[in-house]
Amino acid sequence: MKIIPEIAAAQSEIQALRRWLHAHPELGFEETQTSELVAKTLEEYGVEVHRGLGRTGVVGVLRGGQGERSIGLRADMDALPMHEVNTFAHRSIYDGKMHACGHDGHMAMLLGAARHLAKTRDFDGAVVFIFSPAEENGSGAKVMVDEGLFSKFPVDAVFGLHNWPSMAVNTFGVRPGPILAGSANFDIRITGVGAHAAFPHNGKDPILTGAQIVTALQGIITRNKKPLDTAVLSVAQFHGGEASNVIPDFVTLAGTVRAFNNETLDLIVSRMRTIVEHTATAQECQAECKISRCPPTVNTPDETRFAVGVMKSIVGEASVDADSEPVLGAEDFSYMLEARPGTFAFLGAGNGDHREPGHGAGPCVLHNTSYDFNDEILALGSTYWVELARRWLAQPTP
């Protein structure tokens, strides 16, 4: 494995940044401390810094030589609304907030790359470091794009990287085409007429209506969608009532849909609205269905081939899966890939053996209260970013 020696020597500095970020998590669009640390650190490195794009987003621009090519490198910043059960020294100091997806590590790796590139300036063109907010609610990247990210900071391509605990340490996984699903998160409110549970004929039962909707929605997956088009629809919440002898006035349902193309998502969302509306009408209830969308993350072929070449040059061909299995998780980096060509990849983080004493009893998987980022892969992540930028910018101008 070919880690850049200067980056390996800076491991303790990069790790310290990561652990500070882990201890000070902030939720989407609330990343004020986080973005200030990122911005000040970039400024200390000599990077041109722009604050406030996407509310709390940060963009750094570093130029070298006279080249006209440019590349965007992105890290996400927000934490999750979870209570961390770890007790080691760098655990979250904020109850109910936790870096349980590794965004602390993603920021640290990109800052490590910015540090090295700023010191060496051994590239020809512009590197745009993108620190985006609110990935977990699927909208931070969209806000940045909508506010002119790529018109203000033009790039020829944009790249993303995510740690992946189910993969061996120091390996990469990537593929052309869809690598992460698009999502449609839904909230359904069914309003009926409350009544005494012993006299249900005096009311309009939203619980019965909701139960019928839950069952009917699964028919979309089994009877409306093409069997070869992968998709999942999960109702994850069903809330209603406060007493065992009272039919409530309303219930709420919530869940998510995942699919690898927008056409399948469009079909499912359309059928959902029809089923919710007409099932409620049949039971003399009213229903409101709110849906928020995030497109699938689709890697472009040329940029993926280029990234694979960089990965293999660092870790060797055997440690790069260039046809990685797509994942039904969702990522708002998809909005950036809709606007520019590029690639999103996974960096293997191991099974959790790296965790220090004081970690929780749960597994070291994403969105788990016992999770902690594997600091062993920090130098590799930074090296990948540096080599990707150098080699991308060294290509002839198209």
Q: Which domain does 281 fall in, by range?
A: 182-294
Residue 263 Cα to chain centre, angstroms: 21
Tens digits of per-residue pLDDT, 266-295?
Answer: 999 999 999 999 999 999 999 999 999 999
Q: Are 33 and 26 in contact (CB under 8 A)?
A: yes
How much is the pTM?
Answer: 0.95
Q: 322 falls in which pLDDT band (50, 70, 90)?
A: very high
What is the pLDDT, as a whole number, of residue 245?
98
What is the pLDDT, as a whole number, of residue 294?
95
Q: Residue 272 falls within a domain, yes or no?
A: yes
Q: Residue 398 falls within a domain, yes or no?
A: no
Residue with tokens 């060509």: 341
What is the pLDDT, as a whole number, of residue 317?
98
Quote the mean pLDDT of the chain.
97
Q: Residue 192 falls within a domain, yes or no?
A: yes
Give the domain-ending residue among 276, 294, 312.
Answer: 294
Q: What is the mean pLDDT of residues 93-110?
A: 98
Q: Are 326 and 174 in contact (CB under 8 A)?
A: no
Same domain for 315 and 375? yes
Tens digits of per-residue pLDDT, 66-91?
Answer: 999 999 999 999 999 999 999 999 99
What is the pLDDT, as a whole number, of residue 117?
98
Instruction: Tokens for 131, please give them.
Output: 């620190």
Q: Are 135 and 141 in contact (CB under 8 A)?
A: yes
Same domain for 51 and 171? yes
Q: Is the pLDDT of residue 193 over 80?
A: yes
Q: Is the pLDDT of residue 397 over 90?
A: no
What is the pLDDT, as a whole number, of residue 55?
96
Instruction: Tokens for 238, please give them.
Output: 């069903």
* Residue 250: CATH number of its domain: 3.30.70.360
Which residues share a beta bridge with 75?
131
Q: Which of 10, 39, 42, 46 is nearest to 119 (CA)?
A: 46
Q: Are 247 and 265 in contact (CB under 8 A)?
A: no
Q: Residue 19 falls within a domain, yes or no?
A: yes
Q: Residue 364 falls within a domain, yes or no?
A: yes
Give the domain-ending residue among 262, 294, 326.
Answer: 294
Tens digits of per-residue pLDDT, 115-157?
Answer: 999 999 999 999 999 999 999 987 999 999 999 999 999 999 9
Same domain for 45 and 125? yes
Same domain for 266 and 361? no
Q: Residue 45 falls within a domain, yes or no?
A: yes
The percentage of residues in the chain with a pLDDT greater than 70, rounded to a whole number, is 100
Question: Could you give the angle at the alpha carbon of 342 between the alpha carbons of 268 and 378, nearest 5°?
Answer: 105
Same domain for 66 and 32? yes
Same domain for 125 and 214? no
Same domain for 222 and 358? no
What is the pLDDT, as a whole number, of residue 381?
98
Same domain for 163 and 309? yes
Burial class (CB in 10 A: 0-12, 13-18, 19+), 388: buried
Q: 186 falls in which pLDDT band (50, 70, 90)?
A: very high
Same domain for 19 and 156? yes
Same domain for 59 and 146? yes
Same domain for 127 and 215? no
Tens digits of per-residue pLDDT, 287-309?
Answer: 999 999 999 999 999 999 999 99
What is the pLDDT, as a whole number, of residue 110?
98
Same domain for 318 and 346? yes
d(CA 277, CA 290): 12
Q: Is the pLDDT of residue 398 over 80?
A: no
Give the domain-ending residue among 294, 311, 342.
Answer: 294
Q: Residue 167 falls within a domain, yes or no?
A: yes
The total of structural domains in the chain comes to: 2
What is the pLDDT, as a whole number, of residue 137?
86
* Residue 371: CATH number of its domain: 3.40.630.10
Q: Residue 156 falls within a domain, yes or no?
A: yes
